[in-house]
Amino acid sequence: MSDKVVITCSLTGSLTDPVQHHVPVTPEQMAREARAAYDEGATVMHCHFRQQEPGKGNLPSWDPQVSKDIQQAIREACPGVIINHTTGVVGPAYLDALRCVRETRPEMAACNAGSLNYLKVKANGSWAWPPMLFDNAPGKVKEFIDVMAEVDCLPEFECFDVGIVRCVEMYQRVGMYTGPLEYNFVMGVESGMPADPELLPILTRLIVPGSNWQVTAIGRKEIWPLHRRCAELGGFLRTGLEDTFYLPDGTKATSNGQLIAQLAQYAREAGRSIATPSEARALLHLRQD
């Protein structure tokens, strides 16, 4: 177990309405929120990008120029920061996501490692949204891996269920991927793995030995014991306004910095220290600035 913790901040989601929640949209807002997280110990910024036209800040954008502008603003605000680019797309129209990674060349990018029935049921027994498949067939996964390899970008393998964790080793075994492995256990999606700390010992037994791993915990106050257990077991840590709006006491966060401060506290309570940007690059096997 590394005594150093790499902390990722998921600054904003893909669809969250900035009118309802404190999510950043513009380059200036993204940079300001990144700096708040950076000051509390986050060295990796997981970025989604929104349309910049007035009234459209709740809609995703795959415009490479939007991505470049936001990345530049974040890098200027946070010396040595690591950019982790989103790639998640439902359906066959994902060429724009590939193009965005190819043209902006982030150090890291999400690589959704398997498919999931993406479901949620409301209290009245109706679907929260029309049932959908978040489709990530092996061929699609390989296309993302190949583009990331072209630009020296580390795939972060997003695993929404136990079987998807096991698929990552298979991708390595058949030669689809040959680099260092970074697992992200996404827990708390209602039709995926629950945000249950007792799952972590099982998941960590299923990864390729020597790999890095972290948890993305989706939810409210129930996620915080999971973060604490992740810190205790040697995982890297991630949170942000994409993943939760609530602090452990149930109050609503107004900044990513508040959420990252809580993760840093858990890391220190587990006897671990927070990785600097340079240390994070070494631990993640990334190119050095």
Number of domains in the chain: 1
Tell me which residue has tokens 């010396």. 79
In a domain, 289, yes or no: no
In the three-class reduction of DSSP (H, G, I as helix; E, B as strand; rest coil), residue 259 is classed as: helix
CA distances from 141 to 13, 79, 113 (A): 21, 31, 6
Q: What are 123-158's pLDDT values in tens digits?
A: 999 999 999 999 999 999 999 999 999 999 999 999
Segment 63-89 shows an average pLDDT of 97
Strands 132-134 and 116-118 turn out to be antiparallel
Query: What was the pLDDT predicted at 36?
Result: 98
**CATH code, 266:** 3.20.20.70
Q: What are 255-284's pLDDT values in tens digits?
A: 999 999 999 999 999 999 999 999 999 999
Q: Which amino acid is at 221?
A: K
In a domain, 288, yes or no: no
Q: Report residue 48's pLDDT band, with 50, 70 and 90 as the boundaries.
A: very high
Q: Is pLDDT of 42 > 90?
A: yes
Spatial separation of the C-alpha atoms in residues 119 and 130, rounded to whole Å: 8
Nearest partner of 262 among 95, 271, 253, judged by Cα: 253
Give the structural domain span for 250: 4-283
Residue with more model confidence, 161 or 15 = 161
In a domain, 148, yes or no: yes
Q: Is pLDDT of 289 > 70?
A: no
Segment 29-48 shows an average pLDDT of 98
Q: What are 198-224's pLDDT values in tens digits?
A: 999 999 999 999 999 999 999 999 999
